[in-house]
Amino acid sequence: MAKKQLFSLSVNGEEVDVASPSDATLLETLREDLRVLSPKRGCNQGVCGACTVLVDGVPVRSCLTLTALCEGHDIGTVDGMGEDPILATLQKHMVEKGGVQCGFCTGGMLMSARNLLAETPRPSRDTVKSALSGNICRCTGYRTIVDAVCGAAEELAQ
């Protein structure tokens, strides 16, 4: 394992200094060193989207992102965005419409959906599908998740 190094990160609005292996991925630092657990380790190869977090508001695969490259950037995860009105509305609709089953994909899915609604407040159903196409869900069949994002967009637009 690589030697540990001190990184200064901004995670969910808090400045933190964390010792992580110098070659750690952001997913490893978040889960193993900071105990931020909503980003999940699925494939660990950039395919499933379960590890998706926001870096400066943009969804990234944290399993493919080096912690060393994240200093000076704002890292956001579901754990620390409870006050965010877009995320709160998405979470409400995900629960109401049955978009959460085992929950493994949910943190990453919400990060992609949150970015979509921040950039495109009234997306078409096809745009929602395309925005979530990098997030794999093994449980729901996706329809309820797309319903939830469309429902959240409608509510936020009112």
Show the site string, 50-69: x = touches ligand FES by CB under 6 A, - = not: xx---------x-x------
Q: Does residue 41 interact with ligand FES by CB under 6 A?
A: yes
Using CB under 6 A, pick the residue from 13, 103, 121, 141 that binds ligand FES.
Answer: 103
Give the nearer residue to ligand FES in terms of CB position, either 82 or 103: 103
Give the nearer residue to ligand FES in terms of CB position, either 100 or 116: 100
Residues 6+ apart with CB under 8 A from 51: 27, 39, 40, 41, 42, 44, 61, 62, 63, 108
Per CB under 6 A, contacts with ligand FES among 65-94 are none
Q: Does residue 101 interact with ligand FES by CB under 6 A?
A: yes
Question: Which ranges constitute the DSSP H helices of the chain?
Answer: 26-28, 85-96, 106-119, 125-131, 143-157
CA atoms within 13 A on the CB side of 114: 29
